[in-house]
Amino acid sequence: MAATEKKQAVYLCEGCGISDAISLDELEQAVTGEMRVPLCRRIDACCGEDGLAQIKKDIDKGEVTQAIIAACSPRVMCEEFDALGAQVIRANLREQVIWSQPAGDENTQMLATDHVRMAVAKAAKTEKPAAHGPGASSMKLLVVGGGVTGLSAAREASKTGADVVLVEKTGELGGWAGKWSKHIPYASPYRGLQENPLPDLIKEVMGDKAITVKTNTTVARTEGGPGEFAVQLQNGKGDEWDVFGAIVVATGWRPYDTAKLEPLGYGSSPHIVTDIEFEDILSAGLSKKTKKKKSLDVVAFVIPGGADRMPYSSGVSDRVAIKQALQVVEAVPGAMVYVIYEDLRAHGTAEEFYREAQEAGVVFQKGEVISISSDLTVTVRDDLLGGEVPMSGIDMVVISTGMVPNSTDIDREPSQSGADQLKDDIDPRVPITFSGKLVNGGNGAEPDKAADDDEPALPGGPILNLQYRQGPHIPILANGFADSHYICFPYETRRTGIYTCGPVRRAMTVGEARQDAQGAVLKAIQAMRAADESLAVHPRSGDLSYPKINHDICTKCRRCTVECPFGAIDEDPDGRPHINFSRCRRCGTCMGACPVRTITFDNYNPQMVADMIGAVEVPDEFAEKPRILVLACENDAYPALDMAGINRRQLSPYLRIIPVRCLGSVTMLWISTALEKGFDGVMLMGCKSGDDYQCHFIKGSGIAEERMSSVGETLKSMMLEEDRVVMEEVSIADSVRAPQVLNEFADKIGAMPPNPFKGF
Amino acid sequence: MTAPDAARKYDLGFARWVRDNVDGGDKLSMCMQCGVCSGSCPIGTQMDYGPRKLFMMIRAGMKEEVMTSNTMWSCTSCYRCVVRCPRGVPVTYILQDLAAKSVELGYANPNDNTRFSKSFWWSAKTWGRTDERLVTARYYFSFGLKEGMRRSLDNLKIAYCMIKAGRMHLGMPHKVKDKKGLQAILKKAAEIEQRESGS
Ligand code: SF4
Ligand code: SF4
Ligand code: SF4
Ligand code: SF4
């Protein structure tokens, strides 16, 4: 593998109290002796000016190509060491040895030596990564959707110097929000009604030379990846192809289905309307037109609860009710305006808006709305009122509805059957399918979408019509909203280079949508720049390594294609996996999936970690020193353990912790190597999977969980207890819990008989 | 699910009427139903409904129950609720005026509370002071001669103890020095009230 001969050196750091807690003499002997690394230096403080200079001297002289630095955590001092020029391999002696173990202990010394052994073994199987080739360099942005979100996105992108094409399905810009006369406050002091910002925004966009607006246009097909999306745009006149660096999807929302409000009473009178219908009445002007038909002396805004409400709520419709109530009070002097609610969600600055409405005389009446009759009697139930109270004498009832995300284009025919959709990787809660068959329930979620194979799970057709092996849709999460990581990276869609923003990913107001557009545009620009330099985007931003497939060994089993969380792998006409590098996030899930282990990264591969495991010295069964392998996700679990060390929380000395890119990258080889080597237990530590996942690669930890579900059988066939191999979910904030979990596991393993494979 | 109680009289216009006619009623929309008023009220547990609940009932149009409740009559005007209400609702004024309105509109005639209030007011306006004996006597005898006698006799012992303790005096009732001035003030107040409610 190595193009040039590897020359290794181990640098043992004496700083940060390392030389006080462990014997560096012994360690040095082990390095030059059993580890057979000829060059080992002890350095006062590796990160100090003198220390760095000493290491650099060796490298510059050509004596060292791989510097194994046994010092602090690989999470700190990265820039300093990377600047040395050689490939740097780190052994974490500080956070995970001396800060979490008693000084001068025999076990501490063994742990430190194992850390260096693992680093030396790693060095043998790692290369400094080189780029996969020239990057893809289109810096033009496609924005889909001409509502407030899309228009804002286009403007924000243009301000950074990007060229933008904005496509809008209808003939007009502005979307829903553009039609409305007044808006929920979007600027300080967040009190009164605000003017519609859309006319000005549209003017700005139309006057912007960097933005090309195409109305009556949809996206017919999308191919490629970041920096090189080939997009077929379609309008009445015909098709055209264009190349874009990234895509922002701002397709917005559509109203909630009014049929679902009929049981409540919608439809029984023309004077029972939805909030969206009431906007038209408001736009037409209240005092004149409507008053002629029907006086608006008493108006009730009803925010339904329970079954009538949508399965999710964001508080947007509550704020709309407040807004419309204020509009009535302002337009019809003396009117009596009620807002009837069970829960009023007016969070953040909306509290000010709520107060404004109260001061204007809007009456907020708490109670569950049981029914609305055709004579406009609203029956309300509340415990404080002691039962049901009919409120009658109302002139108009306005029912709050909600926003349904346009994560699909409902005007298009579904292009797939439900069964085909199920095979696609659309919904992270739906378990992985393999060859069209459900592998198992995965993530603990019921495969609810499988209920009827022919019934499409998503209404309508795809928006971008992605020509991806994993299907044409943008992946969704709960309730049809575009998938997004709710804490860390809200705009990422699992289709790299495609960012959703606005109400397609979360119900939001105009003010919120404008901010959201800014965020998504910044991510899109990052993605275009990264693609240009062949670099990974979030969360491994700047990573040059990429998965390589040895096609001579590949059996075309397609597991990598199916399990890649980002749809990065397609199949060529011969059925061989083809990786689209600019889509790839470098998570290694494909590597963990490959049964013949032929997917590798220059600096991360199955053999490398297997050799690291093999390098650990496992004492025999009489030593009563068990060994436990911990494969810790480097996004959350590993930093949490570092943090535990920083806080001097003690860890069991029997743990051997190896960071992994994602639990999805864990191959069964590592577990079997550990057990055959005599490790007594294995723990996988990663992020939360499921509906509210925190996995940085979305499906990685869920996939690992699924793969692990079959590990019990393997253990049984080896005559080993099933609970020797477990998986735990932790978050980055778990620096107290993570060590507890590990120590408890170590106690449990310690109480079991030793692994009988020891010593073989 | 229970059917709406037909015996109840609901009138959604009531909330508007309170807003437009009751002193402080225009501030009722500020109430956010936190319950601080009811929780602070020293008489709260004796009231049919605490102020918070009463306000909710007003909004729901429960006119009959609100106007015949003892809530406003029980209020001692201690102003704790007003001081504590986070939304600046003048709870005490609203209750006081609701009491007055309930008499005016014939909801509260006659009950225990109104009888006592009338006796109290009679004393205040006649003497400019309250006289424990006369207020009590007038209140007792408002139930009729026989009932008045019975109540008086029942409480004789208490009266005796109060006299002994110096809590009730004998002899002529106390009165203000300038009774004429008092009458003039009351006459002027009645005029103002007449003018304001008549307009
Ligand atoms: S490394 Fe991750 S994103 Fe890249 S191809 Fe493999 S599974 Fe897909
Ligand atoms: S998982 Fe491995 S063997 Fe299967 S298709 Fe992918 S590279 Fe080939
Ligand atoms: S304290 Fe004020 S806001 Fe709270 S319930 Fe009473 S009147 Fe309403
Ligand atoms: S003023 Fe009246 S209602 Fe308010 S706390 Fe005092 S007694 Fe209760």
Lookup: tokens for B89: 């609702």
Residue ranges making up the domain that contains A666: 604-760
Phi-psi region of A739 (alpha: psi -120 to 50; beta: other; left: phi over 0): alpha
Of A62-66, A294-298, A702-706, the one with minimum mean pLDDT is A294-298
- Domain shared by A72 and A167, yes or no: no
End-to-end CA distance of chain A: 30
- Domain presence at residue A682: yes
Please list every residue in chain A whose beta carbon sits closer than 8 Å to the beta carbon of residue B61. 389, 391, 393
Identify which of A336, A338, A358 has the shortest CB distance to residue B30: A358
Mean predicted lDDT score pLDDT of chain A: 89
- Domain shared by A263 and A248, yes or no: no
Ligand 4 pocket, residues with Cβ under 6 angstroms? B 40-43, 51, 75-81, 91-92, 95
- Domain presence at residue A446: no
Burial class (CB in 10 A: 0-12, 13-18, 19+), A333: exposed
Tokens 């008549």, residue?
Answer: B198
| Interface with chain A: mutation pick from B14, B16, B89, highest number of A CBs within 10 Å | B16
- Domain presence at residue A501: yes
Four-way CATH pick for B3-104: 1.10.287.470, 3.40.50.10860, 1.10.1060.10, 1.25.40.10: 1.10.1060.10
ipTM of the prediction greater than 0.85, yes or no = no
Please list every residue in chain A whose beta carbon sits closer than 8 Å to the beta carbon of residue B56. 365-366, 382, 384-385
Distance from C-alpha of B115 to C-alpha of B148, rounded to nearest angstrom: 13
- Domain shared by A122 and A64, yes or no: yes
- Domain presence at residue A228: yes
Name, in order, each residue with C-beta under 8 angstroms of A568's C-beta and a sequence gap of 6 or more.
A225, A496, A579, A580, A581, A583, A584, A585
- Domain shared by A305 and A397, yes or no: yes
Domain ranges for chain B, please list them. 3-104, 111-198
Amino acid at A370: I
Distance from C-alpha of A433 to C-alpha of A563, rounded to nearest angstrom: 9
Domain boundary among A532, A555, A574: A532
Query: Do residues A461 and A414 touch, judged by C-beta distance below 8 A?
Result: yes
Task: Answer whether residue A654 shows pLDDT above 70.
Answer: yes
Residue nearest to atom 2 of ligand 1 (CA): A587
Lookup: tokens for B4: 């709406």
Of A367-381, A703-717, B173-187, the one with minimum mean pLDDT is A703-717
Of A214-218, A548-552, B152-156, the one with minimum mean pLDDT is B152-156
Work out how many CB contacts closer than 8 A connect A with B.
67
Of A41-45, A222-226, A449-453, the one with minimum mean pLDDT is A449-453
Distance from C-alpha of A608 to C-alpha of A631, rounded to nearest angstrom: 13
Please give the C-alpha separations between residue A245 and each of A469, A496, A540, B159, in angstroms, as whole numbers: 20, 11, 19, 96
Domain boundary among A128, A157, A179: A128
Would you place residue A449 in the very low, low, confident or very high pLDDT band (cuts 50, 70, 90)? very low
- Domain shared by A186 and A313, yes or no: no
Name, in order, each residue with C-beta under 8 angstroms of B144's C-beta and a sequence gap of 6 or more.
none
Query: Do residues B86 and B36 touch, judged by C-beta distance below 8 A?
Result: yes
pLDDT digits (tens, 9 = 90+) for A553-563: 999 998 899 88
Please list every residue in chain B whose beta carbon sits closer than 8 Å to the beta carbon of residue A344. none
Asked whether the bond before A754 is cis by omega within 30 degrees of 0, the reply is no
pLDDT digits (tens, 9 = 90+) for A391-425: 888 999 999 988 899 999 988 888 776 667 666 66
Question: CA-based angle B105:B106:B109, to the nearest 5?
Answer: 145
Contact B12 A370 (CB under 8 A): no
Query: Do residues A380 and A365 touch, judged by C-beta distance below 8 A?
Result: yes
Question: CA-based angle A673:A115:A741, to the nearest 5?
Answer: 75
- Domain shared by A212 and A284, yes or no: no
pLDDT value at residue A1:
44
* pTM of the shown model: 0.86
Distance from C-alpha of A331 to C-alpha of A272, rounded to nearest angstrom: 19
pLDDT value at residue A387:
84
Q: Can you say how many angstroms the Cα of residue A478 is from the centroid of all Cα atoms in its chain?
A: 14
Amino acid at B5: D
- Establish if A441 touches chain B: CB-CB under 8 angstroms: no
CA of A589 to the centre of ligand 2 (A): 12
pLDDT value at residue A418:
65
Lookup: tokens for B33: 């139903």
CA atoms within 13 A on the CB side of B10: 20
Task: Answer whether residue A99 shows pLDDT above 90.
Answer: yes
Please give the C-alpha separations between residue A589 and each of A182, A575, A662, in angstroms, as whole numbers: 49, 19, 7
Tokens 């409904």, residue?
Answer: B49
Please give, rounded to a whole number of angstroms, the shortest distance from the CA of A330 to a CA of chain B. Answer: 15
- Domain presence at residue A700: yes
Lookup: tokens for A732: 């980055």
Burial A622-645 (b: 16+ CB within 10 A, else e): eeebbbbbbbbbbbbbbbbbbbbb
pLDDT value at residue B2:
32
pLDDT digits (tens, 9 = 90+) for B62-112: 888 899 998 998 899 999 999 999 999 999 999 999 998 998 888 876 778
Q: Which of A112, A109, A119, A37 is nearest to A81 (CA)?
A: A119
The phi, psi pair for A665, rounded to 5°, reads: -90, -5
Domain count of chain A?
4
Name, in order, each residue with C-beta under 8 angstroms of B11's C-beta and a sequence gap of 6 or more.
A393, B61, B63
- Domain presence at residue A598: no
Tokens 């925190």, residue?
Answer: A694
- Work out the number of other CB atoms within 10 angstroms of the CB of residue A551: 13
Q: Strand A725-729 and strand A681-686: pairing? A: parallel
- Domain shared by A33 and A156, yes or no: no
- Domain presence at residue A449: no
pLDDT digits (tens, 9 = 90+) for A189-202: 999 999 999 999 99
Domain boundary among A532, A562, A587: A532
Task: Answer whether residue A431 shows pLDDT above 80.
Answer: no
- Domain shared by A105 and A184, yes or no: no
End-to-end CA distance of chain B: 46
What is the SS3 assignment for A16-79?
A: CCHHHHCCHHHHHHHHHCCCCCCEEEEECCCCCHHHHHHHHHHHHCCCCCEEEEEECCCCCCHH
What angle, 0 to 180 degrees and rounded to 10, lies between the N-to-C axes of helices A106-124 and A606-615? 150
- Domain presence at residue A450: no
Q: Give the CATH number for residue A610.
A: 3.40.50
Length of chain B: 199
Name, in order, each residue with C-beta under 8 angstroms of B173's C-beta and a sequence gap of 6 or more.
B123, B127, B129, B131, B133, B134
Burial A729-752 (b: 16+ CB within 10 A, else e): bbbbebbeebbebbbebbeebbee
Identify which of A298, A360, A365 has the shortest CB distance to residue B60: A365
Helix (H, G, I), strand (E, B) or coil at A210: coil
